[in-house]
Amino acid sequence: MAADNSDASLDEFIQQRSDLIALARSIVGSRHIAEELVQESWIRWAGRDYPADKLVPIVRRIVANLSKDWRRRAKIERDGLQFVVSETEESLDGERIVMARQELVQVAVVLSELPKRTLSAFRMHRLDGLTYAEIGRRLGISTTRVHQLLQDALAHVALRIDT
């Protein structure tokens, strides 16, 4: 059973939205990312059986956790990219280049299996760096649907690459 998604809960969430965005922004440093994380917090709230009278503290905790997780992932990605760049600069041997090209071809094949809209959303987010809201506007869909498309794309790639 999902949380009480009554009009009162939604109204309270909307009233708290600016404070929630400010909280997320203080952690991640970006208003656009903060808005996405606040949107995700509502999705998580709505998908669980939380008591309606605890909306504010629970959603604040969800926003804080999502923001900290995002910041951690961003640091790991930055550090990993920096490692790859420095390792690549140190040793660009033929075998590594061939392996990297093979992996790239494999990923391209897996991505080509995705439905057109899912692939478009994936490209816009991962390659162009667009936010969920920007992707939603371009594709004429909600940010929730964008989130679902991106989850579908990542799940598909993860399943196909691991096999």
- The CATH number given to whatever domain includes residue 132 is 1.10.10.10
Q: Are 54 and 133 members of one domain?
A: no
Across the chain, which has 163 residues, the per-10-residue mean pLDDT values are 61 91 93 90 84 89 91 76 56 70 82 90 87 91 91 85 64
Q: Are 15 and 27 members of one domain?
A: yes
Range of the domain at 58: 1-90
Q: Are 15 and 42 members of one domain?
A: yes
Look up residue 12 and give its two tokens.
């309270």
> What are the Cα distances from residue 119, in Å, to 13, 32, 85, 161?
32, 22, 27, 16
Q: Identify whether the C-beta of residue 16 lies closer than 8 Å to the C-beta of residue 59.
A: yes
Q: Are 101 and 148 members of one domain?
A: yes
For residue 107, what are the contacts with CB-CB under 8 A and spacing of at least 6? 157, 161
Run of H or E residues at 21:
helix 7-28
Q: What's residue 160's pLDDT?
A: 82
Compute, in degrees rounded to 10, the torsion defined by CA atoms 54, 58, 59, 61. Answer: 150
Q: Are 99 and 82 members of one domain?
A: no
Which of the listed residues 90, 121, 140 is the one where a domain comes to its end? 90
| Domains of the chain: total | 2
